[in-house]
Structure 1
């Protein structure tokens, strides 16, 4: 009896899905899909999702329940979209995951862990590009937001509750911890790491491999670990080299720091 009931439920669920005429993909009958959209074979659009005009969805992609995708957005192969809204004219490359749970746990005195609720969404603005295998988590206390016209490279991790402004550039292997707020026109070089709950002002540029450990309130160029104003870094470097040079001379060793790499 249990087996037959399972088969009946599966049959009912299967009947709710249909083959999309433009591309051969699969869609749930409750989804709202513009006739111009292309859903390639092997892709699936789940219940109550909304797909705009001229959207392209590549093979192997899963559009979860109630996801909204704006017009003229292109989605590559094997992308997973859940608990999110995608703007217009967005380009999402292969393997991207958007809207999954963020990484958050309560830890008691004994070290036991309990998962924190992750119940909000991720919002991707208009004209955004997201590189291959990038992950953008859904929010827990506020939605995760990527601002309009922002460009994100491959292999980037954006944690829950992160909000970025417009026209941001985020290079490969950047890791942004939860609840970070980033202004407009911010550039994050490759492998930049940003700790949780800090704010970064608009028009900040962070050099590759920088680590942001505290809030940055002023625009400008920053770098290092911990990240600091690059003008200060240059002054400190010159001061240190001058001290070393003087120490070398006092010991009878005359070092030309400009040519030391060739010695």
Structure 2
């Protein structure tokens, strides 16, 4: 009987303790609701409260909540048109759509009628022009994107270029990659294409240029207007390409090469030196298309004689 009485007393004490804790937590949420701005809100009736640690709540300095948009201690809010997340310092046109799961970081500028898909990250101080469409899981940093552009799923723009050197001690050192990428107007970039930021000059993609899937564009590359780059093209660093240039599938261009305007390169070609005259080129190394075709014909005839 004595053991039973002790158990009943312990149960009553536990219930009282849980009731008091629940009451204190509820009161704490009610008191903290106007000032607490954590990222993941939960609702208690009509009251909006935000789960937060004590350190984060002390760091909160701005208690304003606009349009029922929760603001966390890092200054991020929920965009009313699409449910995405944006930093309070970003400048976003009211007509922009930021889908849930997308994040716009500080000091970015988003133009009118821009659409940003779920999972996309718009980095610090990125500018996106009006009516540009950005697909899912796109990563933009250190860049500006013009008007009426289309960036398909998985595009990465503005990451560091591939630049290293070996010092006097035989240690591999990374070259600074500090500049930006500039995308012109009406540019379309295919899925999983990567464009590196510049190191000694900005990487530039001209107006009306169209880029296929899985294209790699290195740092400091300048591509002119109205160019067309087919799938799996690889362009090494510091290449300069003129206007109206067409690169067939899997064309490779070595670093520091210059290609003039109105040049067309056949698929699987490799450019190892400057091309100044307009026309069609092909082969490895790339030569005028007529000479390349003669080489192929001679090789075919010699192989038949054997």
Global fold match (TM > 0.5): yes
**Residue matched to 1:139:** 198
1:44-73 CA distance string (max 9 Å, x none): 100000000000000000000100000000
Listed as ranges, the matches of 1:65-76 within 5 Å are 65-76=124-135
The answer to whether structure 1 residue 14 and structure 2 residue 72 are counterparts is yes
The answer to whether structure 1 residue 182 and structure 2 residue 241 are counterparts is yes
* Residue segments in structure 2 that go unaligned for 5+ positions in a row: 1-52, 63-70
Q: TM-score if structure 2 supplies the norm length?
A: 0.76
1:217–1:91 distance in 2 versus 1, CA, 3 Å = same
**Residue 91 of structure 1: how far off its partner (Å):** 0.2
1:26–1:201 distance in 2 versus 1, CA, 3 Å = same
SS of 2:159's equivalent in the other structure is coil
The answer to whether structure 1 residue 41 and structure 2 residue 106 are counterparts is no
From 195, 208, 219, the equivalent of 1:160 is 219
1:102-133 CA distance string (max 9 Å, x none): 00012135542111000000000000000000
* Residue segments in structure 1 that go unaligned for 5+ positions in a row: 254-263
1:12-67 CA distance string (max 9 Å, x none): 89331110010000000000000000000000100000000000000000000100
> How far apart in 1 are the matches of 2:252 and 2:300?
28
**Residue 233 of structure 1: how far off its partner (Å):** 1.4
Q: How much is the aligned-residue C-alpha RMSD, in angstroms? A: 2.0
> How far apart in 1 are the matches of 2:60 and 2:172?
35
**Residue 236 of structure 1: how far off its partner (Å):** 3.2
SS of 1:88's equivalent in the other structure is coil
1:126-149 CA distance string (max 9 Å, x none): 000000000000000000000000
**Greater RCO structure (CA 8 Å; 6+ sep):** 1
> How far apart in 1 are the matches of 2:300 and 2:231?
32
**Residue matched to 1:64:** 123
From 88, 107, 111, the equivalent of 1:29 is 88
Moved more, 6-15 or 70-79: 6-15
- Equivalenced residue count is 245
Q: TM-score if structure 1 supplies the norm length?
A: 0.88
Listed as ranges, the matches of 1:121-140 within 5 Å are 121-140=180-199
**Residue matched to 1:231:** 290
